[in-house]
Amino acid sequence: MQIETCPLPLAKRRPLTISRGTSAGSDNLLVSVTHDGVTGFGEFAPVSQVDPPETADTAAAAVAALAPHLTDAAPWEMQKVEALSVEQGTGRAALCALEAALHDWTGKRLSAPVWRLLGADPERIVATSVTVGIQPPDEAAERTREWLSFGGRSLKIKLGSPAGLDADRAMFEAVAEAAHGSGVPLRVDANGGWRTVEEARAMMAWLAERGVDYVEQPLAHGREDEFPALFAGRPLPLYADESCRTAADVARLAACVDGVNLKLMKAGGIREGLRIIHAARAHGLSVMMGCMSESSLSIAASVALSAYADHLDLDSHLNLAPDPFVGLVWQAGRVFPSDAPGLGVRYATKDAI
């Protein structure tokens, strides 16, 4: 098995601001696996909410260090690859990219899409939320109208502004007014930006009065011991994102959240993603699937699993200029996989990377 990496820089059409800062793009990494004349591809996206952060440079180094240990492995030996990656200390986002390439290879070798190999039913895929980042109210309203004209059927509103709760409320009201009459559900993600349980509780009550579906990560990662106090008497469902990375976190959080946000980059790939889904279901929790700053290549790996989730936030590829890959289908606010083998995407142009 031959493993290679190369840079995959991405630029956003519109910069995205969340509670932790603003991103205009990302330095991603393309990972390829070649065996028996077939090549599978996967994508790494940076993950800053880990210590140390995973970057394209650290991921490339990790994959290069792991590759010699996989010389005698075959692409379908994913358990072996995962075990070796754990032994070598490979980061989870780097493993996610490598594992996606292995799944892509397997699907191509079998002439079948990955979603079909996972037994998924695309008819069960729900609308994906499209994201309105933190910005002045008039700009947030304009962004909302853009998403609705593009066919968005669900909105995720980023709150947790460093400017405080009044700024959050003003921006939310602008988005709600711009979306009035559209019938699209509104969801809120604070990305851990609310400073205290009292702030989070007050905002959740205020948002519940305005018909919000749920709130995601109201308190920062590392403050999970405060979740029970917020969970008790909550006026709307509470989801964990940054606080939930692997299946082991699900049991730890099960008594103080209503659901978890599964991101393959945090989890380490499709195999761990399935474990998270099963663990969440065993604990009676809902499952959301989200993404980092990713192209269609990595989004396709999530879409292969997305039929098993209750809520989706797989929109990062829709905000790229350009997306170097094509193949996913945008229809009625939903992101569908293609019937092409493997992950089902291909380079948009010969010089896409």
User: Which residues have a Cβ under 8 Å from the Cβ of 294 and sit 6 or more positions away?
Assistant: 10, 28, 43, 45, 265, 316, 317
Tell me the C-alpha to C-alpha distance, in Å, between residue 115 and each of 260, 291, 302, 306: 21, 17, 9, 9
Give the largest CA-CA distance in the chain.
Answer: 59
d(CA 348, CA 334) in angstroms, rounded, equals: 21
Q: Say yes or no to pLDDT of 351 above 70.
A: no
User: Which residues have a Cβ under 8 Å from the Cβ of 273 and sit 6 or more positions away?
Assistant: 262, 264, 267, 289, 302, 305
Band of residue 51 on the pLDDT scale cut at 50, 70, 90: confident
pLDDT at position 347: 94
Band of residue 21 on the pLDDT scale cut at 50, 70, 90: very high
Q: Say yes or no to pLDDT of 11 above 70.
A: yes
* Average pLDDT, integer, range 166-174: 98
pLDDT at position 90: 96
Predicted model pTM:
0.95
* Average pLDDT, integer, range 203-229: 97
Structural domains in the chain, CATH included, are: 2-111 (3.30.390.10), 116-347 (3.20.20.120)
Q: Say yes or no to pLDDT of 352 above 60.
A: no
pLDDT at position 350: 60
The sign of the torsion formed by the CA atoms of 293, 278, 102, 246 equals positive
| Residue in the structure block whose two tokens are 């989870």 | 92
Query: For residue 53, what is the DSSP state?
Result: P
Residue 68 C-beta-side C-alpha neighbours within 13 Å: 5
Q: What is the mean pLDDT of the chain?
A: 96
Q: Say yes or no to pLDDT of 3 above 70.
A: yes
Q: Which of 40-54, 164-178, 232-246 has the lowest mean pLDDT?
A: 40-54
Tell me the C-alpha to C-alpha distance, in Å, between residue 184 and each of 79, 134, 177: 41, 19, 12
pLDDT at position 50: 81
Band of residue 49 on the pLDDT scale cut at 50, 70, 90: confident
Band of residue 182 on the pLDDT scale cut at 50, 70, 90: very high
Give the model confidence (pLDDT) of 88-142 as tens digits: 999 999 999 999 999 999 999 999 999 999 999 999 999 999 999 999 999 999 9
* Average pLDDT, integer, range 319-336: 97
| Residue in the structure block whose two tokens are 């290679």 | 4
Q: Say yes or no to pLDDT of 64 above 70.
A: yes
